[in-house]
Amino acid sequence: MIVRLWQHGVSLALLIAVWQLAASFADLRELPPPLSVARAMVDGLAAGEMLHHVAVTLARVAASFALAMVVGTAVGLALGRSALLDRLFGGWLLFFLNLPALVVIILCYVWFGLGETAALTAVAASKIPNVAVVMREGARTLDEDLRDMARVFRFGPWRLFRHVVMPQLAPFLLAAARSGLSLIWKIVLVVELLGRSNGVGFQLHVYFQLFDVTAILAYAMAFILVVQAIEWGILQPAERRLARWRR
Amino acid sequence: MPAGGDSLRIAVDAKDYPGRPPKAVLRAIRLEVPRHQVVALVGPSGCGKTTLLNLVAGLDDRFTGTIHRPPGRLAVVFQNPRLLPWRTVAQNLALALPPDTPDLDGRIDAMLEAVGLAGQRDVFPNHLSVGMQRRVAVARAFLVEPALLLLDEPFVSLDAATAERLRDLLRDLLARRPATVLLVTHDLREAIALADRLVFLGGSPAGIIRDVAVDLPRRDAAAVEAFHRSMA
């Protein structure tokens, strides 16, 4: 554990060193050194403005993530448990899976107007097929032997769900959540850039027009820090908890 | 013992596996097991013993015929222990009983004590040996105080000494708390050591080809061996 942490530290330091080296070599406004970016980030956070936009984006990510997980899981389980549904609608899934997120976003804005509903729907809709595909796989691998055991010992529907089905789906849920989060972050930014007047994506757009690379990188950094915090604070502990019973 | 509502009555006219053409597995099986009798279903591997057991357990209803189970709870010790790997030993046992069972913890502890797993309460099944996992499965089955207990090759793929200890354990538990038992095995000596009656399945599709009472006062190795020889 300590050694791993150490290696992570060295790897990160190396990345910053390369960046610093390139920045001082180029000596351009378009490639600011790490320290300027860090200062811009701290200033932005202190001013409260950056915090506001990050929070707005975070809220959009949370809402569309929850929506995508719930709908995607329901669709995936239905397709995974019913061969008929899978034959009928499996092809749809493939279609939506290959539909570019940008197309979904534009269509949502055109159909529902430049509002919050359209933004959240667009993000969730781009992610639902991925969640559904992963959860369909999970539903297919459910253990029939354990289900029979649960029947013999009269588990009832709630205990069956909580103690037999959910633990088997948990790794798939976690995989879907992890890949979902990393995708949704990115789509939310595009949605904000195209049709919202706040959030990190909107700010990036503003600074792009000003050609302010330092501010853009500062926002990107703040963003990466939040994602890492979620990874370390929520996803990894959840994963460890789920893996306790393994040999 | 008179045939009453308490006995297990099996009347399977036909059980087929789907296919083109369907594969006939069981035909014309009539078996009545009086209350608290231990019956061993003996036959070669793949003859349909487990299929019949699944019908009796109510896990498969695609057959023609009727099965009357004695009133009360059913318990099964499967060929694989079928424990929930993500739940501890005690949680696995607790799930077999309703949550509002009085003194649930006390009953679980007593049962674990009885199968010699008192110290393993909070261990996950994957951290136990196969023999210990089987004991947990046996404990779970007896915990529900079943009227009908089904055992599907419960001691297969264990070393001889472990299997023998588990057979002793099963005899003890049954002596303390009798149940109507259907035991599936391909091991005739195991059947003789445990059962009051041997029912042989054979043929294709399988039917009952022999029904033998085991009337042994003592079930030590010598007595089992003698009975085994007498059957040949």
Chain A residues closer than 8 Å to B140 by CB:
153
| CATH classification at residue B51 | 3.40.50.300
B153 in the same domain as B67: yes
Asked whether the CA dihedral A243, A134, A66, A143 is positive or negative, the reply is negative
Is there a single domain that holds both residue B64 and residue B100?
no
Judging contacts by C-beta atoms under 8 Å, the chain A residues touching residue B54 are 148
> Of A145, A202, A197, A134, nearest to A169 (Cα)?
A134
Tens of pLDDT along A158-201?
A: 999 999 999 999 999 999 988 888 888 889 999 999 888 899 99
Q: Which residue has the tokens 């003789």?
A: B192
Which ipTM score applies to this complex?
0.90
Count of A–B CB contacts within 8 Å? 50
Peptide bond preceding A237 in cis form (omega within 30 of 0): no
Strands B64-68 and B38-42: unpaired
Interface list for B 57-96 with A (CB within 8 A): 57-59, 73-76, 78, 80, 82, 84-87, 91, 95-96
> Residue B161: which of B171, B150, B169 has the closest Cα?
B169
If asked whether residues B157 and B232 sit together in one domain, one would say: yes
8-state DSSP, B186: S
CB contact under 8 A, B59 and A155: no
Residues B138, B190 share a domain: no
**Domain that residue B108 falls in:** 83-145
**Confidence (pLDDT) at B1:** 44
Task: Say whether both B49 and B103 belong to one domain.
Answer: no
Distance from CA of A134 to the nearest CA of B (A): 21
Of A142, A147, A152, which to mutate for an interface test with B (greatest number of B Cβ within 10 Å)? A152
Residues B66-103 have pLDDT tens digits of 999 999 999 999 999 999 999 999 999 999 999 999 99
Q: Is the pLDDT of residue B230 over 50?
A: yes
Q: What is the pLDDT of residue A127?
A: 92
The pTM is what? Answer: 0.81
Q: Which chain A residue has the Cα nearest residue B77? A: A149
Phi first, then psi, for residue A103 (nearest 5°) are: -65, -45
Determine, for residues B84 and A153 on separate chains, whether the beta-carbon distance falls below 8 Å.
Answer: no
Of B75, B82, B95, which is closest to A145 when you measure between CB atoms? Answer: B82
Map out the domains of chain A with their CATH numbers: 33-242 (1.10.3720.10)
pLDDT in tens, B134-167: 999 999 999 999 999 999 998 887 888 888 888 8
Q: What is the pLDDT of residue B213?
A: 85
Quick check: is B218 in a domain? yes
Regarding whether B154 and B232 lie in a shared domain, the answer is yes
**Under a CB-based contact definition with an 8 Å cutoff, are residues A174 and A114 in contact?**
no
The minimal CB distance from A245 to the residues B78, B80, B86 is found for: B86
Domain end call among B95, B116, B145: B145
Residue A239 CA to residue A241 CA, distance in Å, equals 5
Identify all chain A residues contacting B57, using CB atoms and an 8 Å cutoff: 148, 152
Interchain contact A142–B (C-beta under 8 A): no
A152/B84 touch (CB, cutoff 8 Å), yes or no? no
Tell me how many domains chain B contains.
Answer: 2
Q: How far is A59 from chain B (nearest CA, A)?
A: 33
- Considering only residues 215 to 244 of chain A, which have any Cβ-Cβ distance to chain B shorter than 8 Å? 242, 244
Question: How far from the centroid of its chain's Cα atoms is residue A44's Cα?
Answer: 24
Distance of CA A30 to the CA centre of its chain: 29
Same domain, B19 and B43: yes
Q: Which candidate, A96, A98, A97, A118, places its Cα nearest to that of A194?
A: A118
Of the candidates B130, B145, B160, which is a domain's last residue?
B145
First to last CA, chain A: 19
Facing residue for A245 by CB, picked from B73, B75, B126: B126
pLDDT tens-digit readout, B170-223: 999 999 999 999 999 988 888 998 999 999 988 888 888 888 888 877 777 788
Q: Do B66 and B154 fall within a single domain?
A: yes
On average, the pLDDT of chain A sits at 90
User: Three-state SS for A219?
Assistant: helix
A145, A159, A245, best to mutate vs chain B, most B CBs in 10 Å: A245
Q: Does any domain span residue B77? A: no
Are the CB atoms for B122 and B108 separated by under 8 Å? no
